[in-house]
Structure 1
Amino acid sequence: MRHRLNDYLLRIDGHMGGAIRPSYRGKGYGGVMLSLALEVTKDMGMKRVLVTCNKDNIVSEKTIVKSGGIFESEEIEDNGNIIRRFWIDL
């Protein structure tokens, strides 16, 4: 979790990041991790968090949206990778 965002984090990485080991994907751990992280950020007094994912990561996008994520925009990294940005109100 990132408590504050610099210009790069605001554009690309957002307030939190995570990864699921390939052998554990598809078992709901991403949703649990995001839910717990949102509880912590809310307890910290944050009112809104930015969560991002790669455009081709449909599972992460569905998890973010299911957790209340509202799509805002896409950003393109220097390597051409497209990042989708979502805000979640706590």
Structure 2
Amino acid sequence: MAARPPISRPAPHPLPPEQQREFELLQRQVEAVANAPPGRVERHPDAPIPLTAEFDGDINPATGERGGPKREPVQRWIEEEGDWSFKGRVSDF
């Protein structure tokens, strides 16, 4: 029986050598982070800083609310604009 010709399928165009090296380097970095033990994962420099809780426990000491958010979601009132701002996002209720 004769050997079959290889299957011809659509594929992306090959990258230039410099971009291929960069692509493979980025893939190795992602795999290293994915395989890192818990607690040793480093944050990406562009990742936003996680918010910290304003209190410990389940009860908000200021409001007495149980099981609510650990910090006030809206923090700053912009008087001249009449909007609430939080982490650079503005809401107009």
In which range does the TM-score fall when normalised by the shorter chain? under 0.3
Structure having greater relative contact order (Cα 8 Å, sep ≥ 6): 1
Structure showing greater radius of gyration is 2
Provide TM-score, normalisation by structure 2.
0.21
Of Structure 1 and Structure 2, which has the larger fraction of its residues in strand? 1
Provide TM-score, normalisation by structure 1.
0.22
